[in-house]
Structure 1
Amino acid sequence: MNYLLKSNLKKLLKKGSFVFTLLVINNIAPTLGQTTAYSSGELAYRMDMAYRRLTDSVYNPAFTEKFILADVNIDPDNARRFYNFSGDLSGRYIEVMSLMDASDAKVNLHQLVKNAIKCQKADGRFGSAQLVFSKEEIGKQHMALLWGNGRLLVGLLAYYNRYHDKEVLASAVKLGDFFIKAYSVCGTPEIVKRLDGFGANGIICVTQFVEGLVTLSQLTGDHKYAKQAAITYKLLPDRGKQHSHGYLTTLRGVLMLYDFDKNAADLAYVKNAYDNLILSGDYTKFGSVREYFGKDAIERDEGCSTADFVRLSFDLYKTTGDSRYLEKGELALFNALFFNQYYTGDFGHHIITSDGSDPHYLHAAWWCCTMHGLRALYDVRGNYIINTRSPQFKVDLYIDHAYKTRDLDISIKRFKNIGDTLFYHFKIQHINKQLLFRMPAWASNVVCYINNKKETHSIVNGYISFQKEIKAKDEISIGFLLKKTITVASGEHIPLAEIKGTVKGVLQYGPYILGVDDKADPDFTAEPNNNILYLKSVTPIKNDMHHNFENISFLTDTYLNINYQHGGYPSLSQTVLRPISEMTFDRHGYLLLNISYSSDKNGTDIQRKESMQNPWRQKLKSQ
């Protein structure tokens, strides 16, 4: 794969290059028809990256059956990392491969599952039979085993739900019964207190079982597991300093419990916990969470936690219909989860700072995040792009996608940018219901065309509808005028037009968070990088930067050109703010995200007579 060279940015910034003439939105009409090339899109590309990571042998470690099952078929003399979290990797692999079409995988899923359940112990557990679940002995190793067993329970049930293997269901039931017995000890106040502060080996290893227990009741009809889930989640403490993945997984399980038993207290619990999280310091500038909660926690993210946050947000929207959760989930998907993925296809960890993120070694968490990230993307693709839960069809997420059922056959394509307007194109092959389109909070205006003709529309309850009936073979183009806002430390989103003086914050352009990274512009990120960017100079540009990524044609043109004064010497320079999600394809380097912006000048009046910039570089730049 080719990666960005700085010369590409310099070509981009050449005076007059690629800068669009700003157009009045009501007069914009993109060319449709044969010029619209439908590709699989970014979501499909990212899913394929993760899937190939799990099924190909390009990177180490390779996912062979022996490697996958090393946490349940344990070889103490040749152990794999986290083997004591018995079922964590194997359960996640079984879960996501049970959902995907894994016919071309190098590991035979059916044989893998049969060999996995052969490792089950007589009492129903997987892993070490030597661990005694008694008040005297319970500690970190017991919690590690429970965590892995909880993930394996979910995996076995995903496999059963697709393939209906009764032997696998019997194994899952036996594992659920083991947990109930273990809970009788682990759930006592004495043990809960002992586990306080154990982080990833804490009480969340117990509470994360809620997801599997509820699923057991759904698939077996036996309500005892859901009743146990209702008791178990009460052990979850306030966030404090604990592992965010286990906390959010528990919340997802409680929301599943509400969908199962319709106990209003369960829903209220999840909503209160979620809303409190959003307003806290544990909610990051990337639109998601850190690996650990707490002000003194490790300053890095985690793919599993981000995936959980995305799924929890969308699930809350599905359950409540409150668009706030949809907006939060979308922000986290496009910026936190996409950013989290590495060029290898893996998801993992990234060092996050007060101003962005630092370059580091490859934190590819192949033991958990790679599979959990793919699981979240699968959920998005299958459940949240097209909303079928009302009398009308609704397009909720603007993601390249092909959706086909008996009542609707539609293709969605992120089409092109014209100035600050981002167009999406929709091809209708078949339709039996009214089709509505979400009016997102990240857009300030919209223009619509049907078959290349501007069409009258109305916006009701957050959705765009047309007076004209949409029919088969129609082609629709919807252009959204993208908002530009800066999110400051307080969490307030300030439109650029309302900024007075200088503020420091994160710039969002439509649904995308933008930043500057050292792969694209090392001049900007070099120390000292307390630069001042001039908002009056912001210009939307069409870029050629992403064309340097091999075989990637779907990336957005939502780039902004902007003047800035360097913090270390007299100057007037330009840089490009680009979506942070693109760092997946450009090896994550140093990223500046929290930047100072000024509304006072456009930058031209601060140019010194004798600039301290390199005159030879300036000469080359002007050519």
Structure 2
Amino acid sequence: MKQIKRRVIGMALLMFIHATYGIAQVNGRAAGELAYRINMAYRRLTENVYKPVFTEKFILADVNIEHDNARRFYNFSGDLSGRYIEVMSLMGENRTKVNLHQLVKDAIKYQGPDGRFGDQRLIFSEDQIGKQHMALLWGNGRMLVGLLAYYNRYHDKEVLAAAVKLGDFFIKAYGVCAAPEIVKRLDGFGATGIICVTQFIEGLVTLSQLTGDHKYSEQASKAYKLLPDRGKQHSHGYLTTLRGVLMLYDYDKNAADLTYVKNAYDNLIASGDYTIFGSVREYFGKDAIERDEGCSTADFVRLSLGLYKVTGEVKYLEKGELALFNALFFNQYYTGDFGHHIITETGSEPHYLHAAWWCCTMHGLRALYDVQQNYIINNASSKIKVDLYLDVNYKSKDADIAIQRFKKAGDTLFYQFQIRQINKQILFRMPGWASNAVCYINGKKEVPNIANGYISFNRAIKADDRISIGFLLKKAIITASGENIPISEIKGTIKGVLHYGPYILGVDDKADPDFTAEPNNNILYSKSVTLIKNNIHHNLEKVSFLSDTYLSINYQHGGYPSSYQTVLRPISELTFDRHGYLLLSITYATDKNATDLQRKDSMQNPWRKK
């Protein structure tokens, strides 16, 4: 592959890179990509490496406002500070330079007499409601969630009292904001629209859960009715609202709440607002800005997995997994931040660093933590189910299991499960991205039972068993219309995105600038796809978790007669490669189709007269 300047990395060097980046260890081995990414985001929020640095003064600048030297989005009072308090409360403060307890104590000093945080001069009356009122409500909604996360962990009654006061402020403000003329006035306001009201549902439901006072959940059940159809609006607020309604269903078991969320979700998936990355754009609507947002992607992952947990319908799990492994992992920057990327119908474009430190960095970390804690292993029934294949140590009263992405042999990806303790039958999901599974217990091959989407064994699994399951990864092209075509079954010429097991693969200008250079309407030979057998990465200074999932493929260039090779690799790796130009939607054909197409079109003048 002379066209691609890469070097072979030995295993020793790869381990050195992992150690340099501080990957958490499990039994002396790297704990895997999820732990690594969590650590990246956590360090971004707690260390003095990148600017801005998260000091207490900086964090609280949206509730202790200095108008002559204001921080960006200070008027979304409680947005950054509430998110910071939330995620640090969940993760603990063992490595933070900011004292979380002091931070929270200082934050509630800035709560106004009516319960709000932020500008006390804003009057919530029908004749004055506008964008600044909505911005304040948005930030206060995030602050409410943060205070309740802190209380739920540390049981500080003063903090709960502040949260109750804030919830009561919202109920009064809602009485004004819910007026039909106000809702109409806010139409088209985007990030300062009615979603600033409906996103409060998450905090209101939690407030009822922690206080036992149903007035907040009753208010939540009224509030979400204000949410309009997607239209052109901010996807983060819309999806946060849906997450809140799902929480409301989990709390009150009103079937109408669940139906509402499922209908909205299914409608979104079937629309043009669902992207080839497996997630959504920052704004809905055909004329919206063509970029993603870490907050929206994080919400989509959590909403998808939450729907699976409530309904048991595997389609939600698969959508959440796809978005996690690709859209959310891709969204993270090398700094640890989450943010925005310019996305197109064919991939993404290079741009400046859109690190959204005021929201996405914390919200992305919140989603990763949620996945780690709640969705990899499902222990809610009489059986333990392994639902997501990510490296993690899981421990409960029923089980103690270490999961590790073990090795790849050909197209078969192995995961190893070290059973330290087990009190229930254990099942392993048979994922839709795999066509077969091969299993070993303590080195001995076992014939698995595959039923209802899960793998089980005829023998009982006990402590000290070591289980290895290898999944044969599918290679399929997903077209813009949603067709799923195995790459071996391509007939004619098609354009689409290559999925290799759970990973979306693409060609980027960091790995192959010749392929992505103009014109890049290249034709890839579908029958020439082969594995790259070595641990290959083109830059020794970067991290690769998935180098064994790189694929080689032959292609003809769209601008001149040629026969070259390129490498397709998981898009999530661009986190570590400083997101450049990326092509995802590419034209595939059999060799004969591609040759005919090249001979006919390659060097013809595009401005010729027909």
| Matching residue within 534, 537, 560 for 2:525 | 534
1:598 equivalenced with 2:607 (yes/no): no
- Aligned 8 A contact 1:39 1:554 in 2: no
Q: Which residue of 1 aligns with 2:548?
A: 557
Which residue type is aligned with residue 289 of structure 2? I
Q: 1:195 to 1:605 in 2, by over 3 A?
A: closer
What is the distance in 1 between the residues matched to 2:504 and 2:4? Answer: 24
Which residue type is aligned with residue 513 of structure 1? I
What is the distance in 2 between the residues matched to 1:543 and 1:186? Answer: 60
What is the distance in 2 between the residues matched to 1:339 and 1:261? Answer: 36
What is the distance in 1 between the residues matched to 2:594 and 2:131? Answer: 57
1:411 equivalenced with 2:408 (yes/no): no
Q: Which residue of 1 aligns with 2:99?
A: 108
- Residue by residue over 1:311-350, the C-alpha shift from the partner in whole angstroms, topping out at 9 and shown as x without a partner, is 0000000000001100000000000000000000000000
Q: Which residue of 1 aligns with 2:256?
A: 265
1:453 equivalenced with 2:444 (yes/no): yes
Cα drift, residue 8 of structure 1 = 4.4
What is the distance in 2 between the residues matched to 1:223 and 1:96? Answer: 26
Q: Which residue of 2 aligns with 1:344?
A: 335
Which residue type is aligned with residue 344 of structure 1? T
Q: Which residue of 1 aligns with 2:474?
A: 483
Cα drift, residue 7 of structure 1 = 5.8
Q: Which residue of 2 aligns with 1:246?
A: 237
Q: 1:556 to 1:600 in 2, by over 3 A?
A: closer
What is the distance in 2 between the residues matched to 1:230 and 1:124? Answer: 22
Which residue type is aligned with residue 343 of structure 2? I
What is the distance in 2 between the residues matched to 1:500 and 1:145? Answer: 55
- Aligned 8 A contact 2:7 2:540 in 1: no
Which structure 2 segments of 5+ residues have no match? 10-26, 604-610
Q: Which residue of 2 aligns with 1:25?
A: none
| Matching residue within 335, 339, 344 for 1:353 | 344
TM-score (structure 1 length as normaliser)? 0.91
Give percent identity, aligned residues only. 79
Aligned pairs for 1:293-332 within 5 A = 293-332=284-323
SS of residue in 2 equivalent to 1:413 = strand
SS of residue in 2 equivalent to 1:293 = coil
Q: Which residue of 2 aligns with 1:506?
A: 497
1:279 equivalenced with 2:270 (yes/no): yes
What is the distance in 1 between the residues matched to 2:236 and 2:106? Answer: 28
What is the distance in 1 between the residues matched to 2:103 and 2:509? Answer: 43
Which structure 1 segments of 5+ residues have no match? 13-35, 613-623
Cα drift, residue 10 of structure 1 = 7.3
Q: 1:594 to 1:543 in 2, by over 3 A?
A: farther
- Residue by residue over 1:124-164, the C-alpha shift from the partner in whole angstroms, topping out at 9 and shown as x without a partner, is 00000010000111000000000000000000000000000
Which residue type is aligned with residue 519 of structure 1? K
Q: Which residue of 2 aligns with 1:218?
A: 209
| Matching residue within 453, 467, 475 for 1:462 | 453
- Aligned 8 A contact 1:502 1:599 in 2: yes
SS of residue in 1 equivalent to 2:504 = strand
What is the distance in 2 between the residues matched to 1:467 and 1:230? Answer: 47
Cα drift, residue 556 of structure 1 = 4.8
Cα drift, residue 543 of structure 1 = 4.2
Q: Point out 4+ residue stretches in structure 1 off by more than 6 angstroms.
A: 602-608
Q: How many pairs align?
A: 583
SS of residue in 2 equivalent to 1:248 = helix
Larger displacement relative to structure 2 (251-260 or 594-603): 594-603
What is the distance in 2 between the residues matched to 1:78 and 1:545? Answer: 48
TM-score (structure 2 length as normaliser)? 0.93
1:437 equivalenced with 2:436 (yes/no): no
1:394 equivalenced with 2:390 (yes/no): no
Q: Which residue of 2 aligns with 1:89?
A: 80
- Residue by residue over 1:461-495, the C-alpha shift from the partner in whole angstroms, topping out at 9 and shown as x without a partner, is 10000112212111111111111111111111111
Looking at both structures, which has the greater relative contact order when contacts are Cα pairs under 8 Å and sequence separation is at least 6? 1
1:207 equivalenced with 2:192 (yes/no): no
Q: Which residue of 2 aligns with 1:162?
A: 153
Cα drift, residue 542 of structure 1 = 2.9
Q: Which residue of 1 aligns with 2:6?
A: 9
SS of residue in 1 equivalent to 2:592 = coil
- Aligned 8 A contact 1:8 1:545 in 2: no
Cα drift, residue 607 of structure 1 = 10
- Aligned 8 A contact 1:419 1:541 in 2: no
Q: Which residue of 1 aligns with 2:185?
A: 194
Q: Which residue of 2 aligns with 1:56?
A: 47
Which residue type is aligned with residue 525 of structure 2? Y
Cα drift, residue 602 of structure 1 = 9.2
Cα drift, residue 389 of structure 1 = 1.4
SS of residue in 1 equivalent to 2:527 = strand
Q: 1:549 to 1:385 in 2, by over 3 A?
A: farther
What is the distance in 2 between the residues matched to 1:108 and 1:40? Answer: 28
Cα drift, residue 429 of structure 1 = 1.2
Give the RMSD, CA atoms, in angstroms: 1.9
1:494 equivalenced with 2:485 (yes/no): yes
What is the distance in 2 between the residues matched to 1:552 and 1:134? Answer: 54
